[in-house]
Amino acid sequence: MLLQLSAARGPDECALAAARALPRLRAEAAALEVSVEVLAAAAGRKSNER
C-alpha cells in the first residue's frame, strides 16, 4: 500500500496533524508487525506558536 501524508498549503493545523500522523502510524504498524518505509520527506514551515 502506498500512503501519502501531506499538509499541502493548508493552515498550521494541517501541518501539525500531518506531523503527528507518521509517528502514530509507525506505532500502530509496529504493534501489528507491519513494516513502514518512508520513501521521501520534506521539512515544513514552522510556526512561532506552541
Cell representation of residue 29 = 504498524
Within a 13 Å sphere around the CA of 24, how many CA atoms are in the beta-carbon half? Answer: 7
Please report the pLDDT score of residue 23 as a whole number.
94
Please report the pLDDT score of residue 28 as a whole number.
96
Sign of the dihedral defined by the CA atoms of residues 16, 18, 24, 26, in that order: negative
Please report the pLDDT score of residue 47 as a whole number.
54
The pTM for the full model equals: 0.70
Residue-wise pLDDT tens for the chain (50 aa)? 889 999 888 898 998 998 899 999 999 999 999 999 999 888 876 654 44
Q: Return the closest-CA partner of residue 22 out of 9, 40, 10.
A: 40
User: What is the end-to-end Cα distance of the chain in Å, rounded?
Assistant: 34
